[in-house]
Amino acid sequence: MTNYLLAGGGTAGHVNPLLSLADEIMSQPGQHKVWALGTSEGLESRLVPERGYELLIVPRLPMPRKLNAYLLKFPFLFANAVKLVKKYIVGNKIDVVVGFGGYASAPAYRAAKELNIPYVIHEANVLPGYANRVGAKGAAEVGVTFSQTVLPNSTVVGMPLRKEVLETITTDLTFEANTFFGLDSKLTTLLVTGGSLGAKRINDTIAESRALLEAAGIQVIHIVGPRAELEDVHEGGYHRISYCDRMDLALAAADFAVARSGAATVSEFAAVGLPAVFVPYPVGNGEQKLNAQELVAAGGALVVEDAEFNSEYVRSVLIPLVSNAKLVKQMQSKAISVGVQDGAKRLLALVNGVL
């Protein structure tokens, strides 16, 4: 029997690949057990138990950014978190630790190192996060989603995809998807999503452009995110929902997409061959713009700056593009040419190779 501890969480971008790897582990022959390590505040606190895995809790400890009391306390808090993770590792006889970045990963890497347990890192973004940059120096293996990611001794494995996304590749769900969302099979469908947290710029622009899109014969699945606090709307060809628990059907229904360019979103779109206009999140270190580079270079997507994504862009660029069936078809082929559909299998092979 092999016991795995998978560390990560916070946003769906960390939790979903963790769960995808967990499912892949449990699908392999033999006896195996998986625990997840995360915080009580992140999405993992809900998603991990829902998938049937036990979540071990570690304190949420952001890296200190200022000279204050928290900075002075941080070394002691972090040391206590490491001690807690070491108890989890020893108590559950963990054979290998796999980290996906975020608050839970840093103490997991340190604990594994101190116990001489091999640990493997998966970095989703082109620009690595702090925990993975530091942790990579002692990792047995490092798997990355994108070839442009710079981490020592890294191997490109792609993104471990959700099983429901993989189903859209192997099964034609178009009829089910159109029925589920109430779509007209004769019209072009645009999927709009800002990720698990939503995106105000995208939401506002699409809301302002509803009449333009409808006049062009484009129906819209608009996932605004729960933070938008907007009521669901189903009017004509416009379908606004706060959260979508059937992203497999949303992907199956869509001909084109508008989205933020988180690593998971970019990877899923490429894997299923869904062309897109990406509107990278404008705050932070610019990682989202970098995530889309390979897909854009292949011709499967476009990127527009957040400030430039407005109703005029929709009128002059998005609508003519989405309405050009031949061009959309070409972009679909180019997107899928760089997509990785077996990221979970590749990552698991990397993990099992250190045992």
Express each pLDDT in 135-175 by its tens digit.
Answer: 999 999 999 999 999 999 999 999 999 888 988 888 889 99
- Helices 12-27 and 263-272 sit at what angle, rounded to 10 degrees? 50
- pLDDT category, 245, cuts 50, 70, 90? confident
Question: Average pLDDT, stretch 302-310?
Answer: 96
Spans of all domains in the chain: 2-159+341-352, 164-337
Look at residue 197 and tell me whether its pLDDT is greater than 80.
no
- Per cent of the chain over pLDDT 90 is 75
Comparing 42-56, 73-87, 161-175, 218-232, the range with the smallest average pLDDT is: 218-232
Report d(CA 99, CA 115) in Å as an integer: 16
Question: Quick one: average pLDDT of 88-100?
Answer: 98
CATH number of 2-159+341-352: 3.10.180.10, 3.40.50.150, 3.40.50.2300, 3.40.50.2000? 3.40.50.2000
Tokens of 277: 């206009």
Of 167 and 88, the structure prediction assigns the larger pLDDT to 88
Q: pTM, whole model, 2 decimals?
A: 0.92
pLDDT digits (tens, 9 = 90+) for 1-23: 899 999 998 777 789 999 999 99
Alpha-carbon distance 196 to 73, whole Å? 32
Report the top-level CATH class of 164-337.
alpha beta
Q: Quick one: pLDDT at residue 260?
A: 94
Concatenate the DSSP letters of all residues of 11-63 into one string. SHHHHHHHHHHHHHHHHSSS-EEEEEEE-SSSTHHHHHHHTT-EEEE----PP
**Range with the lowest mean pLDDT among 144-153, 204-213, 218-227, 338-347?**
218-227
- Predicted confidence (pLDDT) per residue in 102-132, tens digit: 889 999 999 999 999 999 999 999 999 889 9
Same fold, 2-159+341-352 and 164-337: yes
Give the separation between CA 313 and CA 248, rounded to whole angstroms. 28
